[in-house]
Homo-oligomer: A and B are copies of this chain.
Amino acid sequence: MGENATTHHTNSANNGANDNQIGFKSRVSVIGSGSWGSVAAKLVAFNTLNLSSFHDEVKMWVFEETLQSGEKLTDAINRTNENVKYLPGIKLGKNVIADPDLDNAVKDANMLVFVTPHQFIDNICKSLVGKVRSDAEAISLIKGMEVKIEGPCLISTYISEQLGINCSVLMGANLANEIAEEKFSEATVGYRNNREIAEQWVQLFTTPYFMVTPVQDVEGVELCGTLKNVVAIAAGFVDGLDMGNNTKAAIIRFGLREMREFCKLLFSSVKDDTFFESCGVADVITTCFGGRNRKVAEAFARNGGKRSFDELEAEMLQGQKLQGVTTVREVYEVLRHRGLLELFPLFATVHEICSGCLPPSAIVIYSEKKNIFPV
């Protein structure tokens, strides 16, 4: 896949997003319109209006719904410039055009922003095959890949392979509602080879309240966005056990370290510095102090593990599933398959607690297996 992407990348660098022909203007489409998708459209639309290298108009593909009023969601967005359902009260910019037709939304774009729930990306990509410009560049803002025995299915890789285009990622400590309110935030763009493409994405997303830093490490950046949820579950256990600040800080640190080691195990190209970026330490902190993975894990520990995650999720999340629980099960299988479980005591213990094999208090017992990463 690495080579494949490189090839696409080199092509597109000559023809498309990175084109320096006089008068060439990039066209941006945002694929997805939940709260994060709407915020992404807002950030992008601010910049396309202000930067001469972009067409003003930003297409936003919206999964069409009929509102209680009887109006179509796309019509409501285009009439009010607000996503009245998923980000009410926030003006997206008049140059954001909601479009319920996926093919139409992407056909002219050479910069595609993917920001759908992760479970939909499969169908979206399949229906987009042959429909996107061959010189297009993509970026994925989607957190939550599957980690299979044969390796993690990076969503950026999936997009890249399905559509035959290069795909970067943008991850970070990005609670959508805070960015919508223009509270200062930052993010990390992970790119594969071409720094100029990365700079274009940085330009497209940066605003006075949103700072974006490029890192040449797609895999590290994207994996951070998934693995952090495992750390958040561990942090939730600590909260539920009332173990205090030292313990929580220690567990977060172990988690960050295992994230790093796990990423490097899977992709030798992953850089230590990535974990100092917004996608690393900052997103881990946000997720371990807020977020639903932490919250449900806290409830699980407060109940002494006697009510299952399934039960708590049903009660607390209206049927949604916790991503961290799924991810840690997948990570556990990968580690077991490779005989490396004992090098990842935190990840292993989180799974064993989630699956009911160990009590929540086990979260610190593994600490006896210390010095696993000797200095």
Which A residues are closer than 8 A to B by beta carbons? Answer: 172-175, 178-179, 181, 183-186, 208-209, 211, 213-216, 243-250, 252-253, 256-257, 260, 272-273, 275-278, 281-283, 285-286, 289-290, 364, 367-368, 370-371, 375
Contact = CB atoms under 8 A, between A and B. Distances in A.
B250 A216 contact: no
- Shortest 3 CB-CB distances between A and B: which pairs? A185-B246, A249-B282, A173-B249
Contacts of A249: 173, 278, 281-283, 285-286
A368 B208 contact: yes
Number of copies of this kind of chain in the complex:
2
A364 B285 contact: no
A375 B279 CA distance: 14
Contacts of A370: 211, 213
A368 B375 CA distance: 37
Contact of A243 (B183, B245, B275): B183
A175 B244 CA distance: 9
Contacts of A283: 249
23 contacts: A173-B246, A173-B249, A174-B246, A183-B243, A183-B247, A184-B250, A185-B244, A185-B247, A208-B368, A211-B370, A213-B371, A249-B282, A249-B283, A249-B285, A252-B282, A252-B285, A253-B277, A253-B278, A272-B272, A273-B375, A275-B276, A281-B281, A289-B289
Nearest to A280: B253
A178 B247 contact: yes
